[in-house]
Amino acid sequence: MSQLERMIKMAEDELTEYSTDARKMEKLRRKIGLSVSAAEQRLAKEALSAQLQPSGGLRQVVEEQRQTVALPFWGIAGLGLLGAISLSQALGYVVAVAGAVAAYRLQKWGWELQAKRLLLNTLEDIEARVAQPRQSD
């Protein structure tokens, strides 16, 4: 597992906790500071910046609203299952499985995009803090 993949997994772990984005970034910054060198941080930031180019469309919508995007597919899965059971139609089971798979993959993709965005924001924050000298009171 590459260093970037490990950092993405750390970001995914932070997403599981119910807290503000600032708190998630603070905790992730500590973890990254202890386990990743500055050169590796810079390389990871460049790779993430290339992957998450500001683009509109489906990618941005899935990143920001993954559950909302997947909801119709969960509905299709439920209706397919309902049709399969009540009407004894084998096609309903196929529709149910296809809808569930599509919904799961959309949510997983959105989760990964959100973790990458959190990691990129954290790496940019680390870079900004390093570039800015500490000011004493």
Rounded mean pLDDT of 119-136?
82
For 87-91, 98-102, 121-125, which range has the lowest pLDDT when averaged over its residues? Answer: 87-91
pLDDT surpassing 90 at residue 130: no
**Hey, where are the domains in the chain?**
3-131
Rounded mean pLDDT of 81-95?
89
**pLDDT tens digit sequence for 30-49:** 888 888 888 888 888 888 88
pLDDT attached to residue 136? 54
Rounded mean pLDDT of 101-123?
93
Q: What is the DSSP string of the chain?
A: --HHHHHHHHHHHHHTS-S-HHHHHHHHHHHHHHHS-HHHHHHHHHHHHHHT----SHHHHHHH-HHHHHHHHHHHHHHHHHHHHHH--HHHHHHHHHHHHHHHHHHHHHHHHHHHHHHHHHHHHHHHHHHSPP---
